[in-house]
Amino acid sequence: ADDVSIQVVGDTVTIQGELKVEYDEQANYLLRERPVGRFMRTLRLPDPVDSAKVEASLKDGVLTLHIPKAEESRPKTIKVNVK
């Protein structure tokens, strides 16, 4: 199984974990190319994010993150009252 943790701080996301080797004792492998071991990747996002609303899922080996922008970084339209 894959052990993955995600940390979100400001506009930075850090993903780290460990890929473990899973061998099928019945199979006869000629060549097996899959990275194993510990990994870490840090990504800088263009805007600050709302870390309380970050969601992550791992399905079939694909990690999907939903990272909404922080409210203060979203454009705000202000109506001008003409007198």
The two beta strands, 2-9 and 12-19, are antiparallel
Q: Please report the sign of the dihedral spanned by the C-alpha atoms of residue 46, residue 72, residue 55, residue 22.
A: positive
Structure tokens at 20: 């473990």
Average pLDDT over residues 53-61: 88
The domains located in the chain, with CATH, are: 2-73 (2.60.40.790)
The predicted pLDDT at position 1 comes to 43
Please write the tens of the pLDDT for every residue from 5-55.
Answer: 999 988 899 999 988 777 666 677 777 677 778 999 999 998 888 888 999
User: Using an 8 Å Cβ cutoff, are 14 and 7 in contact?
Assistant: yes
The predicted pLDDT at position 74 comes to 64
